[in-house]
């Protein structure tokens, strides 16, 4: 059976709080663990009122402490924001506290706009080769091979599972070259999905970390007991995407009946494009949508994600998705 995992952006809902978002994250991870999810990831975002996962390593420690078997990781850490040594120390700490359960996905996007990027002390005029060099430097700290002249403590000898993330062809090329696992952000950037997967598999070079290519792609799931209810639940994330893409980011809003049908054409086009890799509906629609996506991509693992305003409804959506995964058949 194909593995299935969960991406949680730790949404802050309108009328809620950051503290509640953190409580929900831990509860969601426990729930996902009980329903057979292989890993729980969150991602580094900055300066966004609706996402509470900026201090990613701290959030992961909180979630890992609440769970016992599910893998916990970053999907991802935006490496240009950090010195590789600092990430080695952070994830070396997590690996020591929760051995054998930590993932480290690495991305090259800033996870912010230019104002926030400056506040993070990033150099915006970095050259194209900086990210690959940072990845290799980070690997050196974990391997403790002496190439940097520095022993990362914690970090030296740690073995978090390394991934390269991507929403374009660059990540696929780098993951293939370094012989690392590859995850594609098709839940919001679907355009290059098929080509990226093909390049990764074609160009993969075996490494000490990985003998064969291993690919994962993200897929939005809004599941409920009825198709109508699922469509309503999906409207919260639809509103949030439209707000973000039109320059008005907000906390996750409550669902609005008929939201999608009432959008102007230009906003509907945003959703049609961004949310191409999605399934919305009851269990049958979800199962069909997931099966079609797996058949299209041939992924080794699928990363399910969605932001739903009501926490109980979100847990129900996860349970329905897990049931669909358990019965998944993917005909040729």
Give the span between the Cα atoms of 257 and 227, in whole angstroms: 13
Q: 115: which residues sit within 8 A by CB, 6+ positions away?
A: 47
Residue 332 CA, chain-centre distance (Å), reads 28
d(CA 216, CA 231) in angstroms, rounded, equals 26
CATH 3.90.380.10 fits 3-326, yes or no: no
Separation CA 61–CA 250 (nearest Å): 26
Instruction: Say how many C-beta atoms besides its own lie within 10 A of residue 249's C-beta.
Output: 16
The pLDDT value given to residue 127: 57
Map tokens 């329905």 to a residue: 320
Whether 260 and 278 have beta carbons less than 8 Å apart is answered as no
Q: What sign has the CA pseudo-torsion 182, 188, 189, 190? A: positive
CB-based contacts of 160: which residues, under 8 Å, 6+ apart?
73, 91, 92, 94, 95, 102, 103, 104, 142
Task: Give the number of other CB atoms < 10 A from CB of residue 151.
Answer: 11
* Strand, helix or coil for residue 18: helix
The three-state secondary structure class of 264 is coil
Spatial separation of the C-alpha atoms in residues 249 and 178, rounded to whole Å: 36
**Cα–Cα distance, 306 to 227 (Å, whole number):** 16
pLDDT at 123: 58
Instruction: Quick: pLDDT tens for 108-145.
Output: 986 567 777 778 765 555 555 799 999 999 999 999 99
User: Per residue in 286-315, pLDDT tens?
Assistant: 999 999 999 999 999 999 999 999 999 999
Which portions of the chain are predicted below pLDDT 50? none
Task: Report the pLDDT value the prediction gives residue 17, as an integer from 0 to 100.
Answer: 98
Distance between CA atoms of residues 211 and 131, nearest Å: 23
pTM above 0.85, yes or no: yes
Quote the pLDDT of residue 117. 74
């Amino acid at each position: 059976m194909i593995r299935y995992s969960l991406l949680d952006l730790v949404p802050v809902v309108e009328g809620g709080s950051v503290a509640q978002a953190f409580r929900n994250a831990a509860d969601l991870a426990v729930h996902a663990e009980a329903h057979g999810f292989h890993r729980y990831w969150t991602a580094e975002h900055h300066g966004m009122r609706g996402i509470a996962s900026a201090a990613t390593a701290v959030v992961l420690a909180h979630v890992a402490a609440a769970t016992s078997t599910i893998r916990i990781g970053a999907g991802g850490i935006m490496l240009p924001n950090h010195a590789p040594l600092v990430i080695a120390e952070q994830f070396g700490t997590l690996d020591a506290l929760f051995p054998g359960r930590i993932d480290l996905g690495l991305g090259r996007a800033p996870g912010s706009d230019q104002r926030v990027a400056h506040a993070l002390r990033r150099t915006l005029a970095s050259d194209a080769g900086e990210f690959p060099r940072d990845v290799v430097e980070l690997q050196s700290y974990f391997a403790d091979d002496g190439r940097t002249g520095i022993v990362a403590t914690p970090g030296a000898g740690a073995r978090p599972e390394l991934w390269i993330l991507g929403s374009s062809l660059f990540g696929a090329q780098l993951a293939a070259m370094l012989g690392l696992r590859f995850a594609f952000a098709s839940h919001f950037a679907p355009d290059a999905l098929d080509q990226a997967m093909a390049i990764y598999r074609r160009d993969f070079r075996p490494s000490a970390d990985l003998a064969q290519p291993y690919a994962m792609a993200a897929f939005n799931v809004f599941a409920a007991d009825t198709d109508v209810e699922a469509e309503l639940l999906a409207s919260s994330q639809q509103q949030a995407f439209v707000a973000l893409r039109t320059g008005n980011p907000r906390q996750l809003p409550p669902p609005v009946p008929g939201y999608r049908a009432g959008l102007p054409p230009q906003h509907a086009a945003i959703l049609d494009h961004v949310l191409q890799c999605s399934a919305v509906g009851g269990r049958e629609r979800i199962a069909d949508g997931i099966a079609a996506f797996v058949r299209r991509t041939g992924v080794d693992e699928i990363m399910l994600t969605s932001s739903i305003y009501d926490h109980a409804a979100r847990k129900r959506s996860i349970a329905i998705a897990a049931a669909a995964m358990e019965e998944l058949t993917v005909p040729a």
